[in-house]
Structure 1
Amino acid sequence: MKSKLLSGLAVAILMAGTACSNTNSEESTDKTEDQTVTENAKVELVHDEQAQKVDVIIAGKLFTTYMYADSLEKPVLYPIHTANGNAITRGWPIAPRPGERVDHPHHLGLWFNYGDVNGLDFWNNSSDIEDKTNYGHIVHRAVNSIQNGENEGRLEVSLDWMNSKNEVLLTENTTFIFTGKDDQRTIDRIATLTAPNGEVKLTDNKEGMLGLRTARQLEHPSEKPEIFTDASGKTTDVPTMNNEGVTGMYLSSNGKQGNDVWGTRGEWTSLSGEIAGEKISVIILDKPSNPGYPTYWHARGYGLFAANPLGQKALSDGKEELNFKLAQGESATFSYRILVNSNDQVAADNPDRAFKAWAK
């Protein structure tokens, strides 16, 4: 599946987020001895309104960028780096890298949306979609607050979930909390959805909800070609590929490993692997207060790492079902923590301990 090119202006804007420093570029994998991160690293957020982005700098280096360019169908965090500067996110379709997959153009960085909101598909919308009638999009409205600090940085934003007529179905008020300590980087994403103009139905759907598309090295080794079908029946071919340097492995709180994690519930799931000699683990933590807790994991070996608390029928093979609704004026909050760990000692850390701290 081949994505259409973004406009030249949009590409320039988005690529700017990857060029904050040469040690953190998408292509950079070299590490230097002076890259040791001190405890309680300083976090600085830099808002560039013209480029429609907020860079997150930890210990003087780019960690990630909040991107809200008009060419995107939803704001994203992209790219996301380890403490040592390796990108854990796929480069394509913004900054392609040799040997990586080019499927699912809507899989970009870290995002939050859903496959059925009042019958509209927010999840699969991308620049590849020409007829937007049956698709929804999320529009960034405002940066409400930016706070820098010695221990953490906070970004508060407002978004609108809209149909193709630009009518607002949901408002979203989200707080991002970014922290860095030694070889660990942390993202808290706390989103409150409100239905301002009438009832909103988030009908049970496989495509959701917090999604991360990983670098090729963190995928599972490709064993055979596969075909994946989205909720609307559209198919995507995912071919077998060269597995050199591909080392990913899922592990969930319920003890499942590898591809067996998909379609199971868990308080957390980790994805471990290696990029350019750096041992890495990425852990997503659910929150007991979230709707649909504990979440189902829509975790695929080809690099989609997603938590979907609302797609229960699809992911449980019909054993459970949750058709979530918000009445007019009603709100719901979805909170997740994403840990990006580097090096053996931290990568082997007990995710249960991290989950208990987050659950408090």
Structure 2
Amino acid sequence: MTPAPIPFVGWLTFLTLAGWLPPSSLAVPSDSNLIVEVSTERDLVHSPLVVEVGQAASKGEYLLIPESGGLPIPVTIFEGEPQGQRILRGLLPTLTTQDGKPRTERYRLKPLGDRDAATPAFAFRAGRTPGSLELHQGDELITTYFDGTADAYKPYFHPLNAPGGTPVTRGYPMSPRPGEPTDHNHHRAFWFTYGEVNDFDFWAADPLNEKGKPNPRYGRIRPWNTPEATSSTSTPSTPTARAGVGAASLTTVLRWTNASGERALLEERRTTWFYGDTQTRILDSDITLTALKEPVHFGDTKEGMFGLRVASTMDVDASKRKEGDPARSAGGRIVNAEGLTNAEAWGKRSAWVDYSGPAEGRIWGVAILDHPTNLNHPTAWHVRTYGLFAANPIGRRDFNLGDHEQGPFTLAPGEAIRLRYRVIVHPGDERQGRIAQAFASYANPPQVKTIRP
């Protein structure tokens, strides 16, 4: 018997009762003598700290106190993700090396106790509409997750806010802003889909594109809603939301189906936000797609995959809009790791791309980093001067990539593919955001170990 799905607006109560979210904050942990040692052979920039601590420390909120002096690092130990482990999550400060010599830093784990006002905690709150869940840091909205059941055919995050509350994603069609272009109804702020999966289109699929006439080729990405064992997890009906100082994570289990509801793919996605400084937002997305009972074929198309639509004042074409148009600006800039800019970056393979431009009177940038273990790294980029910004590891034909590039592929039943991306919202352009150095830290993370004195 299939249990009735839990309404999204009731998640906060449900998650609290289930032990997935605390009633107000995580329990104050007991004192710990744990030492966290971080070693690196290169400068670390925008580098999250994720380490299993086992039974060495209880779940809760902590500070990492550097033995060499300096500011403490707010971190949280989460329990039960993944597979019952205790995981410490936070963000390391910038660590620089000298003369090419390796650097080692040691930190003592200290319970946070009374919350320091300088380290505002993340918190999930029930959204204002069915199917939504808000993420806040202190009093500031970071983003809202929509499961898509109320207004779309896929989950999405909207808006994606820079520190201070400035949206760096387009508002249309969810909450249009004056002067915004109204093209591409399916570009819902920040999403993950693909245009050819077993001949179904999950990219353009959107009720607004159907104009009242259902399109049988449109796929759906929905909450799983049916408990069913898989190789890595049981499939809950609701997201698993965890939040504290230093980090927050949202894990969703989704089904990719055709228009008739027949399931093709299981998607397991963990999105983790890290607290850096007051100017930078960092999130990691870890996605696993598993074929179910039948083979799943990913076709050759430019329409994919890990994408967002930047705020209209940030796009390159903003300078071409009419005088007096609220979405007109000096225009933005696209640049990839090889230095190709704007239209030249479209369809090219690169380890990262940065899109920067003016938003609410200030220059903001958004960078997407492609993990080195991803399929076809460095990925091709479906990034447009009108504001679309997407990493596409599969498409080949439209990008004029050679036959030697792996393109379309098929997952056998039970076979899975894992994709990881890092998103950095930062002030200024890619140089001010130190995106090249951030990718080096992403590709070559530090060695981390825990020590019990």
TM-score range, shorter chain: 0.7 to 0.9
Counterpart check, 1:341 vs 2:430:
no
Structure 1 partner of 2:365? 281
CA distance in 2, matches of 1:240, 1:162: 45
Q: Which amino acid aligns with 1:286?
A: D
Structure 2 partner of 1:173? 268
CA distance in 2, matches of 1:222, 1:50: 31
- CA drift of 1:349 comes to 2.8
The 1:47–1:197 alpha-carbon spacing in structure 2 relative to 1, beyond 3 Å, is farther
How many equivalent pairs are there? Answer: 311
Q: Secondary structure at the match of 1:293?
A: coil
- CA drift of 1:265 comes to 0.5
CA distance in 1, matches of 2:163, 2:320: 33
Find the partner of 1:358 among 420, 431, 442: 442
Structure 2 partner of 1:306? 390
RMSD: 2.6
CA distance in 2, matches of 1:291, 1:41: 37
Counterpart check, 1:45 vs 2:116:
no
Q: Secondary structure at the match of 1:79?
A: coil
CA distance in 2, matches of 1:171, 1:223: 42
The 1:249–1:138 alpha-carbon spacing in structure 2 relative to 1, beyond 3 Å, is same
User: TM-score normalised to the size of structure 1?
Assistant: 0.80
CA distance in 1, matches of 2:180, 2:320: 16
For 1:102-251, list aligned pairs within 5 A.
102-127=182-207, 128-129=209-210, 130-141=213-224, 142-182=237-277, 183-221=279-317, 244-251=328-335
Structure 2 partner of 1:31? none
- CA drift of 1:201 comes to 0.4
Q: Which amino acid aligns with 2:219?
A: G
The 1:49–1:302 alpha-carbon spacing in structure 2 relative to 1, beyond 3 Å, is closer
Q: Secondary structure at the match of 2:317?
A: coil
Q: Which amino acid aligns with 2:356?
A: S
CA distance in 1, matches of 2:418, 2:323: 38
- CA drift of 1:40 comes to 5.3
Q: Secondary structure at the match of 1:260?
A: helix
CA distance in 1, matches of 2:357, 2:369: 18
Per-residue CA distance 1:232-255 (angstroms, 9 max, x = gap): xxxxxxx99957324210010021
Counterpart check, 1:57 vs 2:57:
no
Structure 2 partner of 1:16? none
- CA drift of 1:306 comes to 0.7
- CA drift of 1:188 comes to 1.2
CA distance in 1, matches of 2:411, 2:205: 22
- CA drift of 1:347 comes to 6.3
CA distance in 2, matches of 1:104, 1:255: 28
User: TM-score normalised to the size of structure 2?
Assistant: 0.64
The 1:50–1:250 alpha-carbon spacing in structure 2 relative to 1, beyond 3 Å, is closer
Q: Which amino acid aligns with 1:73?
A: Y
Q: Which amino acid aligns with 1:338?
A: V
Per-residue CA distance 1:320-347 (angstroms, 9 max, x = gap): 4511211000011111111111358x96
Moved more, 214-223 or 164-173: 214-223
**What are structure 1's unaligned runs of at least 5 residues?**
1-37, 226-238
**Structure number, greater radius of gyration:** 2
Q: Secondary structure at the match of 2:343?
A: helix
CA distance in 1, matches of 2:428, 2:219: 40
Structure 1 partner of 2:175? 95
Contact 1:177/1:187 (CA < 8 Å) preserved in 2? yes
The 1:86–1:135 alpha-carbon spacing in structure 2 relative to 1, beyond 3 Å, is same
Moved more, 248-257 or 309-318: 309-318
